[in-house]
């Protein structure tokens, strides 16, 4: 059983998020905590001039709403955390800040592009200081 589980969710695939959040609740110590995390990627500076000023605020608010909906669907007590930046870096930073003992991350089936640039899950597995469970 794990005392602190980080569950990073890509809000564009909430079904996978529901699956890993449910699995996290099964692996959680009775006195443990789940942190439901979404990372909003920053807009590259060369594009920032062409997008509405409130785009990032809208993305964060949308993510918060979807995570609250996901938490309610799963019927799991979880803290919601939103971060901005590169996803793998922010997932690892969240795990470190919360002193997590598990990161439970969803992944898709790897294809050729994963071997060239790597996916977020690959980066998290390679650099995490705690256990990582990758769900497919």
Question: 76-117, pLDDT tens digit by residue?
Answer: 999 999 999 999 999 999 999 999 999 999 987 666 555 544
Residue 114: predicted pLDDT: 56
> Domain segments of the chain: what residues?
2-135
C-beta separation of 91 from 39 below 8 A: yes
Residue 90: Cβ-neighbour burial (10 angstroms; 0-12, 13-18, 19+): buried
Who's near 70: CB < 8 A, 6+ residues apart? 9, 14, 17, 18, 21, 36
Say if residue 50's pLDDT is above 80.
Answer: no
Question: 14-34, pLDDT tens digit by residue?
Answer: 999 999 999 999 999 999 999
Residue 112: predicted pLDDT: 58
Residue 123: predicted pLDDT: 92
The superfamily CATH assigns to domain 2-135 is: HUPs (3.40.50.620)
Query: How much is the pTM?
Result: 0.89
Q: Where are the alpha helices (DSSP H) in the chain?
A: 14-27, 45-48, 55-74, 87-98, 112-117, 120-127
């Amino acid at each position: 059983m794990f005392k602190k589980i980080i569950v990073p969710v890509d809000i564009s695939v909430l079904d996978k998020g529901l699956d890993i959040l449910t699995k996290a609740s099964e692996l959680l110590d009775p006195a443990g905590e789940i942190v439901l995390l979404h990372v909003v990627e920053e807009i590259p500076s060369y594009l920032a001039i062409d997008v509405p000023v409130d785009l990032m605020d809208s993305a964060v608010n949308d993510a918060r709403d979807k995570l609250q909906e996901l938490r309610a669907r799963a019927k799991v007590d979880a803290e919601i955390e939103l971060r901005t930046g590169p996803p793998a870096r922010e997932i690892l930073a969240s795990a470190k800040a919360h002193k997590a003992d598990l990161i439970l991350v969803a992944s898709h089936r790897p294809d050729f592009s994963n071997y060239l640039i790597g996916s977020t899950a690959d980066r998290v597995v390679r650099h995490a200081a705690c256990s990582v469970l990758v769900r497919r």
